[in-house]
Structure 1
Amino acid sequence: MKHILLALLAVSAAATGCKTEDYNDGTTPVANTAYIGAAETTPDAPVTFKRTVQTLDREFSVKLVSPLSEEIAVEFRIDAEAVAEYNRRHGTSYGLLEAIHYRLAQQSAEIPAGKVESDPVTIHFQGLDQLEMNETYLLPVSLTSTSNGLGLLRGSETLYYLVKRSSAITTAADLTDCYMWVPTFETTEGQAPIMGLTAMTYEILVNVPEFTTSIPGQGTINVTSVMGVEQHCLLRIGDSGYPRQQIQLQVGDVHFPEGGENNVIPALTVDPGEWYHIAFTWDIEEEVGRIYVNGRLAYADRLACDSETFDIGQVSKGGSEDTAYRFLIGYSYNPFRPLNGMVSEARIWSVARSEEEIFRDMYEITDPASKPELRAYWKFNEGSGNTAKDYSMYGNDAVCLTGSNNMEYGDRTEGTLKWNNAIEIPMLNQQE
């Protein structure tokens, strides 16, 4: 829409032989119109939420193509008549959201003189836990008139809220330019649940929008660090000399009974922009490591551990690079191995879970506080803030950090954790 507006301005200026700076009142030679800001690029506004949510607020503002010298009021309404037209154009059969499920406190917005945008208008959605599960409802909001007879911009005068109570996960943490650290894992008490394990399982939902290969002006990226401990047990994607999108487990203190390298290198690749549930299990006595993708066994290999236990809570391996060796999500070793993607449902278990268990529980663990073998469980469902709660009985919350931090000497910078509250992760274990 912005490109269209710029094109209109250019055509009008060429036709009149005038320059926009010739208009001292702040207007432009193109005909001015009003529109809904949120509909500038697309008129669809998904409002997708998890099944337990009861209320939500959404905001929109009214905008002008160019400012006016006087204040203008723009009226709008819930446009029930627009539902049929939307369904006709999209081949859908959505029903109108009933009035008991929303509250629109005002029917007009004012745009001050010399400005191009109104204050935000809030729609309060309520009683959402009473809606049918996985059913989409439509709530169109349309501009109707302006106080001075100004026209409405066709295609952006109506915003369609698509309201859906979903059984799927609808919130995830975006670890672009940041990562998660667990402060209490630096204490003896906090790290106890993930030390001295004879079997373990990692689980996580991950989506990497783009597998970049470099940071401009900084360096090469060959690795997407997902979760774990560098040189001990790290789940990651890619490595130097291997395909950029290949799932890999980097492990230390191990040997292959038949010989080989110190890394599990399965021929498994993931696509950018897709959600994957990735799990790794390892039992010291069994000497087999397994990787599961979307709940199904994708790779297994013989692995023997030279130590008697997995110590995921270790914070030092010795030498000059101590800062790299601790449990992190979305970071490992240095800033050139970032995740730069979204995560949800990260877990650590003290058992090697079965394929049946992993497939069944990919998207939720019921009653997590009653499961002592669930040693950490970050759902990443907060939707705001810089902390991810640990839903296991051990309570080791994760916090967001950013930059190249010297973890050894306490040089840690709190990051700004971004959230995506409008996703809907496909629930593959309900599609078979």
Structure 2
Amino acid sequence: MKFYKYYFLSLAFVTVAMTGCKEADIDNEHHYDNKLYISSQPICDDLLIKESITEASRSIAYRIASPAEEDIQIDFEAAPAMTASYNLIYGDNATALAADYYDIPKKTATIKTGDISSDDIVVNFKNTNELDDSKRYVLPVTITGASKMAVLGSHRTAYFVFKGAALINVVANIKKLYFPIKWKSNVSSMSTITIEALLRSDDWVAGRDNALSSVFGIEGSFLVRVGDGDRPRDQVQVVAPGGNFPEANAVPGLPVNEWVHIAIVYDATTGERIFYKDGVRVYGDEAASGKVSLTSGCNIGKSYNEERWLPGDIAEVRIWNVQRTAEQIAKNPYKVSPDSEGLVAYWKFNEGTGGTIRDHTGHGNDITAVGGDPKWINVEIPAQK
């Protein structure tokens, strides 16, 4: 298990954002008396309730303002009774973490004469995958006493917060990159296709010369893209048999600096061509005509040339050989089962390192970036409360 040191700010600063564990700017405070204090931020909230995570360890750092004139013994203890006061101060609704889920192997420490600190206090968490991921839990750990040394009240307690893991924690920024697809699956004669992708951009409308952003497909054959010379740069356009759709200015543009889920259905068996935005049908016609082949020249993030890259982040790209229903699309923007019926390829773009993206279906349609590795972005989708 890895040990992480987390630094805590004063409880007096109740406006501090609960965004993980960061180093405190303790030097800006003035301690005129030599007092003991936790030299860390009061809230560590990066502990996740997730099926694959059964244990974790965190540590508490502490110190005194000036070197000790004699040995100082310090006592620490879990303080579940402080949960109510934590909720009141921070506006949370957390439940006290039960003793079954943690252990503090050493609750005493000694700062030796001439020192200002000693070894950290380690808190081990266990069986956390058994917690209810719809709830938040908190473990307060506090200094209960110190020999011959006063304790700074506002830096006395550390709070460890558990919350349900987001469905998506890492995404890829693929600006100026693209991914050629060397298919292992048979995509040579598809009567029905559903394409899904989760996108976020800060410059659909401005910020570069090219008016077209490529999502997925083949230039001149079957292509999902955003913008073009005849329409706003933030409007989805699909090149497909039956003509490009939707028409210019026929549908709302994609947002800026927000995640948006898009889904395209092409079904030659019914004639339907449909565009869903965030699970809502915003366009449909019955102009589908003929089968589609994705075998050669298919890319993510490129069409025609390398200047038509996707200006932003991408996740959850899925290719289906069935028509996904409106209900299926609306209910599953962030995750689907890799063995879902009709799922041909599933690129989550959540590797967090490198340039190769795994096909989660097991069909072997892994892809590798051209132009460098993606910039990996930590996210919380959907945002956890």
Give the TM-score, by structure 1 length.
Answer: 0.63
Q: Which residue of 2 aligns with 1:235?
A: 224
Deviations along 1:323-345, one digit per CA (max 9) or x if unpaired, are: xxx321x56643673342352x3
Deviations along 1:241-289, one digit per CA (max 9) or x if unpaired, are: 7445x34024166526xxxx89675422344454433211012354432
Counterpart-to-counterpart distance in 1, 2:229 and 2:63: 51
Q: Which residue of 2 aligns with 1:22?
A: none
The Cα shift of 1:233 comes to: 3.5
Deviations along 1:98-121, one digit per CA (max 9) or x if unpaired, are: 12223445558999xxx9999987
The structure-2 alpha-carbon separation of the partners of 1:354 and 1:339, relative to structure 1 and needing over 3 Å to count, comes to same
Counterpart-to-counterpart distance in 2, 1:229 and 1:63: 59
Counterpart-to-counterpart distance in 1, 2:365 and 2:110: 48
The structure-2 alpha-carbon separation of the partners of 1:238 and 1:94, relative to structure 1 and needing over 3 Å to count, comes to same
List gaps (5 residues or longer) in structure 1. Answer: 6-26, 316-325, 406-411, 427-432
Percent of aligned positions with the same letter in both sequences?
24
Which structure dedicates a bigger proportion of its chain to helix? 1
Q: Which moved more, 1:138-147 or 1:226-235?
A: 138-147
Q: Structure 2 counterpart of 1:97, which letter?
A: L
The Cα shift of 1:379 comes to: 3.7
Q: Which residue of 2 aligns with 1:369?
A: 339
Q: Which residue of 1 aligns with 2:17?
A: none
Any residues of structure 2 matched to 1:30-429 within 5 Å, and which? 30-31=30-31, 35-37=38-40, 39=42, 43=43, 45-50=45-50, 52-57=51-56, 59=58, 62=61, 77-104=77-104, 107=107, 123-142=123-142, 152=152, 154=154, 158-165=157-164, 169-175=167-173, 181=179, 185-186=181-182, 190-208=183-201, 210-211=202-203, 219-220=208-209, 225-239=214-228, 242-243=231-232, 246-251=234-239, 254-255=242-243, 266-304=250-288, 308-315=290-297, 326-328=298-300, 333-334=305-306, 337-341=309-313, 343=315, 345-366=316-337, 368-369=338-339, 371=341, 373-380=342-349, 387-399=356-368, 401=369, 405=370, 412-415=371-374, 417-420=376-379, 422-424=380-382
Count of paired positions: 356
The Cα shift of 1:87 comes to: 1.8
The Cα shift of 1:365 comes to: 3.0
Contact 1:172 1:342 in 2 (8 A): no
Deviations along 1:180-217, one digit per CA (max 9) or x if unpaired, are: 736xx33xxx3443332122101123344x347666xx
Q: Structure 2 counterpart of 1:341, which letter?
A: D
Contact 1:37 1:60 in 2 (8 A): no
Q: Please state whether the residue corresponding to 2:253 is helix, strand or coil.
A: coil
Q: Structure 2 counterpart of 1:203, which letter?
A: E
The structure-2 alpha-carbon separation of the partners of 1:153 and 1:298, relative to structure 1 and needing over 3 Å to count, comes to farther
Q: Please state whether the residue corresponding to 1:129 is helix, strand or coil.
A: helix
List gaps (5 residues or longer) in structure 2. Answer: 1-8, 11-26
Deviations along 1:51-85, one digit per CA (max 9) or x if unpaired, are: x2342536466488999899x99875534233111
The structure-2 alpha-carbon separation of the partners of 1:174 and 1:397, relative to structure 1 and needing over 3 Å to count, comes to same
Deviations along 1:3-47, one digit per CA (max 9) or x if unpaired, are: x99xxxxxxxxxxxxxxxxxxxxx9995488555455xxx36143
The Cα shift of 1:170 comes to: 4.3
The Cα shift of 1:91 comes to: 4.8
Contact 2:354 2:373 in 1 (8 A): no
The structure-2 alpha-carbon separation of the partners of 1:414 and 1:301, relative to structure 1 and needing over 3 Å to count, comes to same
Counterpart-to-counterpart distance in 2, 1:119 and 1:266: 64
Q: Structure 1 counterpart of 2:47, which letter?
A: V
Counterpart-to-counterpart distance in 2, 1:97 and 1:129: 13
The structure-2 alpha-carbon separation of the partners of 1:283 and 1:92, relative to structure 1 and needing over 3 Å to count, comes to same
The structure-2 alpha-carbon separation of the partners of 1:395 and 1:88, relative to structure 1 and needing over 3 Å to count, comes to same
Contact 1:103 1:124 in 2 (8 A): yes
The structure-2 alpha-carbon separation of the partners of 1:342 and 1:88, relative to structure 1 and needing over 3 Å to count, comes to farther
The Cα shift of 1:133 comes to: 4.0
